[in-house]
């Protein structure tokens, strides 16, 4: 049965999915063989497990960077952005691996939301599964590939009320990522990791004794919004408790992060779905549930997408920033 790219037959799609998850014939067996037994128990595609190919890529990157002297951290990270968020549950798709300590943990993390440039291009992602990936600036897309964690920077976002009349300052720490190859523009894109929390409905309130107050003695005040496991603007986001743990691991101790899928992975899966081929491929993987949902993924390259973003910006110029209102005024 032959599949057409623009209208995949459901049976053909199931054939493709079955092929993707058939046991690979040869998959860097020397690298698989040296995975310690305790870590092998965490390999798989079920909940709280890491796909074999994702782990393999993460270990190769970590070993390369340690051999280069870039990384000395005993732990490394991986992320599988093909995994879904299930209804009512956050998908555990970010992995912390500390082999010397025989320690493995899977935690929730968000994927890039993308954007819908109406009339030009739609590369928006739903909350459950990511269909679109890319490395263009201002695309708000996840770009898979190799990263190394860099410096951290903390910034004050404002105050919010937690209980009674107690106000708490939200100071969010950002971990910069440095990429290579297709992720080399991570700094230009301000791609990194941070706590999945922000403030909404901001207004200014008098708080002259605050170290964050402006010259007139005012500070931003808003409502806390937590989006752990949801969508981000292209960064990797974690819950507050997970973010604190990750920050403690990497502060002044850089390590590697491999985010799956790369551009080549996205293109290979899209081609396989379009062709309807029923044979397995040695190094192809995608989460079956999400692949059925999205049909076929797409990678939006920097070269292809940035001109469209620029055109949209010219057609829809941003409004000048408006000063925050006073909280005490209607």
Does residue 48 sit within a domain? yes
Q: Is the pLDDT of residue 96 over 80?
A: yes
Q: Which residues pair with 300 in a beta bridge?
A: 134
Nearest Cα neighbor of 297 from 116, 50, 153, 130 is 130
Does residue 115 sit within a domain? yes
Does residue 242 sit within a domain? yes
- 328 vs 2, higher pLDDT: 328
How far apart CA 28 and CA 41 sit, in angstroms, is 19
Structure confidence by residue, pLDDT tens digits, 227-247: 765 677 778 888 889 999 999
Q: Is the pLDDT of residue 26 over 80?
A: no
Give residue 314's pLDDT: 92
Output the CA–CA distances (angstroms, integers) from residue 126 to 76, 257, 270, in the order listed: 28, 24, 18
How far apart CA 109 and CA 310 sit, in angstroms, is 29
Does residue 27 sit within a domain? yes
Structure confidence by residue, pLDDT tens digits, 183-215: 999 999 999 998 888 899 999 999 999 999 999
Give residue 228's pLDDT: 63
Do residues 81 and 234 touch, judged by C-beta distance below 8 A? no
Does residue 205 sit within a domain? no
Does residue 40 sit within a domain? yes
Residues of the domain holding 177: 10-150+173-190+232-315
% the chain with pLDDT above 90: 68
Tokens 């720490």, residue? Answer: 173
Tally of domains in the chain: 1
DSSP state of 43: B
Residue 162 — pLDDT band, cuts 50, 70, 90?
confident
How far apart CA 92 and CA 142 sit, in angstroms, is 16
Averaged pLDDT score across all residues of the chain? 86
Does residue 39 sit within a domain? yes
Instruction: Specify burial of residue 13 (Cβ count, 10 A radius: 0-12, 13-18, 19+).
Output: middle
Q: How far is CA 229 from the centre of its chain?
A: 10
Structure confidence by residue, pLDDT tens digits, 2-25: 333 333 443 344 444 444 444 443
Mean pLDDT computed over 119-144: 94
Give residue 4's pLDDT: 34
Does residue 325 sit within a domain? no
How far apart CA 267 and CA 131 sit, in angstroms, is 12
């Amino acid at each position: 049965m032959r599949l057409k790219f623009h209208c995949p037959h459901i049976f053909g799609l199931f054939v493709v999915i079955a092929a993707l998850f058939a046991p690979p014939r040869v998959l860097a067996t020397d690298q698989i063989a040296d995975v310690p037994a305790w870590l092998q128990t965490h390999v798989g595609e079920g909940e709280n497990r890491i796909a074999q190919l994702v782990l393999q890529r993460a270990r190769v990157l970590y070993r390369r960077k340690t051999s280069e002297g870039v990384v000395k951290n005993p732990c490394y990270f991986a992320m599988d952005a093909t995994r879904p968020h299930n209804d009512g549950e956050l998908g555990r798709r970010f992995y912390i691996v500390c082999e010397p300590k025989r320690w493995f943990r899977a935690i929730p993390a968000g994927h890039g939301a993308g954007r819908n440039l109406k009339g030009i291009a739609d590369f928006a992602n739903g909350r459950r599964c990511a269909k679109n990936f890319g490395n263009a600036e201002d695309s708000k897309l996840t770009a898979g590939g190799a990263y190394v964690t860099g410096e951290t920077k903390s910034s004050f976002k404002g105050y919010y009320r937690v209980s009674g009349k107690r106000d708490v300052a939200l100071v969010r720490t950002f971990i910069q990522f440095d990429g290579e190859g297709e992720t080399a523009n991570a700094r230009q894109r301000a791609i990194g990791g941070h706590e999945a929390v922000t403030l909404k409905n901001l207004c200014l309130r008098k708080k002259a004794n605050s170290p964050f107050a402006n010259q007139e003695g005012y500070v931003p005040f808003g409502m806390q919004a937590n989006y752990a496991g949801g969508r981000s603007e292209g960064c990797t986001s974690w819950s507050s408790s997970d973010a604190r743990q990750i920050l403690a691991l990497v502060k002044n101790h850089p390590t590697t992060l491999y985010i799956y899928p790369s551009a080549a992975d996205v293109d290979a899966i899209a081609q396989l779905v379009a062709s309807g081929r029923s044979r397995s491929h040695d190094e192809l993987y995608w989460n079956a549930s999400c692949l059925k949902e999205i049909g076929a993924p797409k990678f939006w390259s920097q070269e292809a997408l940035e001109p469209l973003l620029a055109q949209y910006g010219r057609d829809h110029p941003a409004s000048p920033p408006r000063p925050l209102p006073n909280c005490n005024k209607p």
